[in-house]
Structure 1
Amino acid sequence: MGAQATSSDGGTRTGGVEIAGVTKTYGDATAVDDLSLSVQPGEFLSLLGPSGCGKTTTLRMIAGFEHPDDGDIRISGRSVLGLPPHRREVNTVFQAYALFPHMTVAENVAYGLQQRRVPKAEQRQRVAEALDMVQLRRFADRKPTQLSGGQQQRIALSRALINRPSVLLLDEPLAALDRQLREEMQVELKLLQARLGTTFVFVTHDQGEALSMSDRIAVMRNGRIEQLGDSSSIYAEPASAYVASFIGQQNFLHGTAGEADDVQTARGRFEGRWGGERVAAGEAALAAIRPEFIRLEPANSVGTGVDGRVLGVSHLGETLQVVVGIGDGETLLVRTPAPTAPRVQEDDPVRCTWSPEHVRLFGAEGVPTTATHVIALPETVRA
């Protein structure tokens, strides 16, 4: 074990990660741009963003598979620049399980201990403990191919945790699983992390995964952190139109900033609260409203909102999703609890209303101008 990070109460805790001014380039392309981030010991932090935003490169630099061109990376208070992966207090779980098919589950989990020449008696004890953590001890003598995808992923987790790393790095480990199994593994993974108290740094492009599991989320864009915060603040208080569009579903009405806290659009003037930096009056701006904050009322009802016509209705279990055309190919996405949802069908005239307190205003940078909300409709539907 390496040096330990000193806590505020004077004790020592392992597992803290400090990224200070790190930059990584590949030729003319900058993958990570002067990035600084502090991960607290025992924290579950997710790096979230689309492909090419720099999240996996950041993870690989923490692991030691890539090396920064500038800046420093410290784990448990010690710089790890120049240290190979096997000399860092980290283990990595990848999307591909990378299990040895000719070995049993127990042999796969014990592999790292064998490489470190841990005595056999201790190996057996630690393998049993590691398999108990993921509830797979009864499958110790089976081959990985005899188990499900979710069980194989738990074996990979067990193999990574058996070496007792200060930090566990997870690179989209659930991406290959089907939806139901992925959701089950999200719950199991968070419970396991809470029980162990190990620092988890989790890379994903799936905002649902990040929201459901993380203590904090770092939303990345172009090699930088666009916003860092807990799930609630990231969702409810996005700092930019980019974050608002990437986290959850969002409706955007395009227009120009007014003199007050408002945006003037082709559908009317809408008041709200600025998210991030306020733009000057007359500049391109957006009024954003989440689908769950929109109410469906009879056409021409009184209230802040716009009139439209129902283009489609989808039942999503407990939620009713309605797509409303509001003219010129623009649409609004509405989601409402199914038990209390109004009865609507295609081509019904409706009014979409909302409260100004639920509207966020942004500068127009970061969101496509071709769609009102983040799910664009096919041209045949728009017509």
Structure 2
Amino acid sequence: MTSAATTEATAGARAAIPEAAGTVLLDGVTKRYGQATAVDRMSLTVQPGEFISLLGPSGCGKTTTLRMIAGFEHPDAGDIRVSGRSVLGVPPYRRDVNTVFQAYALFPHMSVAENVAYGLQQHRASKAAIREQVVEALDLVQMRRFADRKPTQLSGGQQQRVALARALVNRPAVLLLDEPLGALDRQLREEMQLELKLLQSRLGITFVFVTHDQGEALSMSDRVAIMRDGRIEQLADADTIYARPVSAYVAAFVGQQNFFRGPVVEGGTAVDSPHALVRGIRAELADGLQGQAAVRPEFVSIAPDASEARADAAGPVNTARGTLIGVAHLGETMQYLVRLGEEQSLIVRRPTPDAPQLAVGDPVVASWSAERVLLFPADDAASAGGYVAPPTD
């Protein structure tokens, strides 16, 4: 875990314990499965009414963290507090939280209304109160007209809405969502992202959302916790996560990056890779160390290369020459794949209306500004799953 993330995540958790409904506090929480540590001394404070996402690849500990807040797993060390109350040893049904799962877990033999009413019945609410609250919950997700249908008669998006209504009918202080949009197709998933955020804003309920989809996390969340090996690598708002990642791991996981590796030069402001001298505007590293410079595809320009320089030769600072080996139309953007050498490629994305007309096989020159360069020490950024240009040595 980086020092910045440690300070930010832990400082709030170790401050005076807030008592407001909807606060979630994890203080030094650890969870092990045999010899494997799934969550490692994690500290985090979620404020009332906040939409926070736990984002990371499979195995990073995000779902285990959610299940511990819900009460389905128990920490081996540390404390978890919900609305100012420790929930260690408290069963799930007695916590002021509800959970929406990816599989929805609806009862197939019950109608939509009966599914939503189930939790209220378990709490022995009156029939009049159940009817009123079920109608209110179904109205929230625009599903009242389907109240008498069975789950098997609904589409995936409709089932997801029913699962939300069932979780919200008791008006919990905290709603936990474990990849609830994962089973939906892309268009419906994007529609539900908007609906979820609007619903959360209207209700003011704290949402803790687990996902491996960076688009979901960045588009909906007030803050995003990027997780790695059971710890928080960075905790910040979406703009900060995207523009100022604290590590190569975060930079590679959120969006895509082109990485250039080599020795650090020029007073820590540049990386001298085999295919480009990549210079930034801040001295980040010490000269002589092995480093890597990162540039996002959308910050790279591309044009035909009319020079007589070799296609694999380095050009001026923040410029690389190569051969175009792929062109893809992505709707609003055009994507170009440029081979810089035997083992390194570069991704470029340009807005479709302004994209140059290039063909596979064309010699091209790519360039970018120093303001768009991020410098990091040599790291295992490839493990984050983002695009990483392969090393050339």
Same fold, judged at TM 0.5 (above):
yes
Q: Does 1:86 align with 2:100?
A: no
The corresponding residue for 1:249 is 256
**Structure 1 gap ranges (5+):** 1-10, 377-383
Q: Does 1:264 align with 2:272?
A: yes
Contact 2:70 2:97 in 1 (8 A): yes
Match for residue 43 of structure 1 among 50, 62, 76: 50
Once the two structures are superposed, residues 320-365 of structure 1 have per-residue CA deviations (whole angstroms, 9 ceiling, x without a partner) of 0110111122110010000011101101111000000000001121
Instruction: Please report the TM-score for the alignment, with normalisation by the length of structure 2.
Output: 0.89
Aligned to 1:13: 20
Asked whether the 8 Å contact 1:64–1:83 carries over to 2, the reply is: yes
Q: Which amino acid aligns with 1:122?
A: A
The alignment partner of 1:101 has SS state of coil
Match of 2:321 in 1: 307
Residues 1:72 and 2:79 aligned together: yes
Q: Deviation of residue 28 (structure 1)? A: 0.8
1:127 aligns with 2:134: yes
Backbone CA RMSD of aligned residues: 1.9
Which structure 2 residues correspond to residues 52-67 of structure 1 after superposition, within 5 A? 52-67=59-74
Alpha-carbon contact 2:226-2:234 (below 8 Å) kept = yes
**Which of 249, 273, 289 is the equivalent residue of 2:295?**
289
Deviation, 1:115, is 0.7
Alpha-carbon distance in structure 1 between the residues aligned to 2:382 and 2:97: 39
Q: Cα offset for 1:366?
A: 2.2
In structure 2, list runs of 5 or more residues that go unmatched: 1-17, 308-314
Q: Does 1:187 align with 2:201?
A: no
Higher mean alpha-carbon deviation, 171-180 vs 359-368, is at: 359-368
Which residue does 1:25 correspond to in 2? 32
- The DSSP-based 3-state class of the residue aligned with 2:382 is coil
CA distance in 1, matches of 2:300, 2:277: 16
Q: Residue in 1 aligned with 2:286?
A: 280
Deviation sequence 1:185-215 (CA, Å, 0-9, x none): 1111111111101000000011111011100
Instruction: Name the amino acid aligned to 1:161.
Output: L
Residue identity over aligned pairs, in percent, reads 64
Contact 1:47–1:203 (CA under 8 A) maintained in structure 2: yes
- 2:374 corresponds in structure 1 to 360
Shift of 1:274: 6.0
Q: Structure 2: which amino acid aligns with 1:57?
A: T
Total equivalences in the alignment: 364
Structure 1: which 4+ aligned runs deviate by more than 3 Å?
A: 300-303, 371-376
Q: In the alignment, which residue of structure 1 is the partner of 2:221?
A: 214
Alignment of 1:141-160 (within 5 A): 141-160=148-167
Q: Cα 1:141–1:319, aligned 2, differ >3 Å: closer, same or farther? A: same
Find the partner of 1:337 among 322, 333, 351: 351
Preserved contact between residue 104 and residue 142 of structure 1 (Cα < 8 Å): yes
Residue 3 of structure 1: aligned partner: none
2:179 is aligned, of 168, 172, 178, to 172
Q: Which of 169, 174, 177 is the equivalent residue of 1:162?
A: 169
Report how far residue 225 of structure 1 moved.
Answer: 0.3
Structure 2 letter corresponding to 1:208:
G
Distance 2:38 2:140 in 1: 36
**What is the distance in 2 between the residues matched to 1:132 and 1:351?**
56
Pairs within 5 Å for 1:344-383 = 344-368=358-382, 373-374=387-388
Q: How does 1:194-233 map to 2 (within 5 A)?
A: 194-233=201-240
Offset at 1:297?
2.1
Cα deviations across residues 233-255 of structure 1 (Å, max 9, x unaligned)?
Answer: 00000000000000001110111
- Distance, in Å, in 2 between the alignment partners of 1:33 and 1:189 is 30
Equivalent residue letter for 1:305: T
> What does residue 234 of structure 1 align with?
241
Change (3 A) 1:87 1:273: farther
Instruction: Tell me how far apart the structure 1 counterparts of residues 57 and 138 of structure 2 sit (CA, whole Å).
Output: 33
C-alpha change, 1:145 and 1:374, in structure 2 (3 Å) is farther
